[in-house]
Amino acid sequence: MKLILMLQESKRKLTVDELATFGVSRRTIFRDFNVLSEINVPVVWDQYSGYGVMDGYKIPPLMFTSKELATIMVGLNFVKSQVDKMLVDDAKGVEVKIKNVLPDELKEFMNSLDNRTVVDPFLHFGHEKKEGGNWYMVSSAISQKRSLAFTYKSKSDETVTDRKLDPYLLVFYRDHWNVIGFSHKRQAIRNFVLDRMDEIKILDQKFDPKEEINIEALIFGSNEGGKLVEVLVDKSADRRVQG
């Protein structure tokens, strides 16, 4: 979507180097052009000035019901409450673009929800936003099944080491995002906090998980899924246990 908007909003054609501004390689941009072609976006090119979209092409308008907008706002407000500054900025960008194409009645409805919907007050009011950990690049590596290279700052002694990871899963734990995957250094499954990762690069090397991924087992550090446990609680303590 960002690539389409750049091509559409530019008053001139753009080169691949100009388009590779999302922290991705030229090769990734060419792959993205192939995807745009498959979904019938009319990308044009000439050898002197670069790439653009056919004159008159517009992205189809977004149409939402009030219920769908309410669902979107809950999701956006959750993302905007995050500690990760990049996530917050991206969520605000999505919100602005949606508001720009809405009729006034739905725009007013969306504004009222935004001002009165707080998903997590502890995150919303209690944490300074942090730089670091490119969640989009990590999620891209997961979807492409490609290894990641990055530097990592240890929480215990603040030392910085080079790491290589086959990323399996992005997980949010209360106040921070984590990526879980196979660590080449430890030759085992490990968890890395995104805001302690830096200089992240997607490698050309593809990976296949050694076995079928069990999401529950990855999150809780077990070799198998969880088991249902029934606990009997006295009525006097029931409310506190549920809370």
3-state SS, one letter per residue, for 187-218: CEEEEEEHHHEEEEEEEEEECCCCCCCCHHHH
Selection from 60-64, 84-88, 179-183 with the highest mean pLDDT? 179-183
pLDDT for position 151: 95
Residue-level pLDDT at 219: 80
Check residue 186 and give its pLDDT.
Answer: 92
Residue 152, pLDDT above cutoff 90: yes
Residue with the larger pLDDT of the pair 1 and 243: 1
17-76 pLDDT, tens per residue? Answer: 888 776 778 888 888 888 888 777 788 888 778 888 877 666 665 667 888 888 888 888
- Whether this prediction's pTM lies above 0.85 is answered by no
Q: How far apart are CA 219 and CA 171, in angstroms?
A: 8
- Give the model confidence (pLDDT) of 189-202 as tens digits: 999 999 899 999 99
Average pLDDT, the chain: 81
What is the SS3 string spanning 135-202? HHHHHHHHHHCEEEEEEEECCCCCCEEEEEEEEEEEEEECCEEEEEEEECCCCEEEEEEHHHEEEEEE
**Top-confidence residue, 64 or 88:** 88
